[in-house]
């Protein structure tokens, strides 16, 4: 079950390609990060907001599955599903190409840290919790 779902759209640039003229595998992590930042913007609780509240969310675990290559000038849709926010922020990523084919799956787990003590916190910041609830209720 998804607490909140978000879509991010991007177009593959020439600089994203490897010598085989497909998107270099490492760029998928960059796409995931770009989409995650846009998701946090949509929630109204960005990494900068977290920092000012004394929290950080480093990635602790990442899992990826490459299904089909993305190509130059492809218009990609990356669907993000927030799976859970407690004890960690778990986000599932599903990427589709121009034809609607699923080409990539991934998942990240981010642990909330108190930036003063650098200790893990197993409950989400209240502002994050309220932001997800607000957007979920709007649907």
The 10s digit of each residue's pLDDT in 7-47 is 999 999 999 999 999 999 999 999 999 999 999 999 999 99
The tokens for 77 are: 């849709």
Peptide bond into 125 cis (omega under 30): no
Mark out the alpha helices in the chain (DSSP H runs). Answer: 27-43, 47-52, 126-138
Question: DSSP class of residue 123?
Answer: S
**Distance (Å, rounded) from C-alpha 88 to C-alpha 110?**
6
Q: Global pTM?
A: 0.94
Q: What is the pLDDT of residue 88?
A: 95
Positions of the chain with pLDDT lower than 70, given as ranges? 139
Q: What is the pLDDT of residue 137?
A: 83
Q: What is the pLDDT of residue 139?
A: 66
Name the residue among 64, 112, 70, 113 with its Cα closest to residue 92: 64
- CATH code of the domain made up of 4-138: 3.10.129.10
Sketch the domain layout of the chain as residue ranges: 4-138
**Distance (Å, rounded) from C-alpha 104 to C-alpha 116?**
37
């Amino acid at each position: 079950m998804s607490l909140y779902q978000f879509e991010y759209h991007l177009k593959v640039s020439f600089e994203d390609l490897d010598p085989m003229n497909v998107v270099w595998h490492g760029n998928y992590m960059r796409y995931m990060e770009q989409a995650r930042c846009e998701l946090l913007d949509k929630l109204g609780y960005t990494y900068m907001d977290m920092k000012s509240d004394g929290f950080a969310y480093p990635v602790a675990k990442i899992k990826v599955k490459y299904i089909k290559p993305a190509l130059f000038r492809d218009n990609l849709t990356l669907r993000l599903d927030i799976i859970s926010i407690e004890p960690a922020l778990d986000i599932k990523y599903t990427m589709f190409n121009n034809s609607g084919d699923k080409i990539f799956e991934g998942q990240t787990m981010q642990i909330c840290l108190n930036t003063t003590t650098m200790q893990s916190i197993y409950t989400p910041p209240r502002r994050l919790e309220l932001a997800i609830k607000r957007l979920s209720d709007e649907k």
